[in-house]
Structure 1
Amino acid sequence: MGPLLGGALAFRQWIETGHGRVPLRGALVRLWCEDGLLRTPLPLTGAAAFRSGTS
């Protein structure tokens, strides 16, 4: 299983157990940087981040 599919499955399990999304988002970015999938750490955001008035 590659880093994207593995990350998606881990994220789903994490959310289903009732944990918050923010800690796992950071962990996924760090993992993908270490695996060489990302060159720089990019934040994972949801659609709400693109609303007006969001910092």
Structure 2
Amino acid sequence: MQQVRGGVGGSGAAEPVIPPYVKHSLTPLGDELVEHLLPLFRWILDHAADIVG
């Protein structure tokens, strides 16, 4: 798999099995992005009732 522009994407390795299986992994930049997004996702979950109204 090719990396997404900016290096945030990841890579994957196809396994020769049925059904097809691909192991995916993020780049270091993608891992860093996840560290920043998780607190935002937690905040959204904590405030979902107020957001939806």
Fold in common (TM above 0.5) = no
Tell me which protein shows more helix as a share of its residues.
1
TM-score by length of 1: 0.31
Tell me which protein shows more strand as a share of its residues.
2
Say which one has the larger Rg: 2
TM-score by length of 2: 0.31
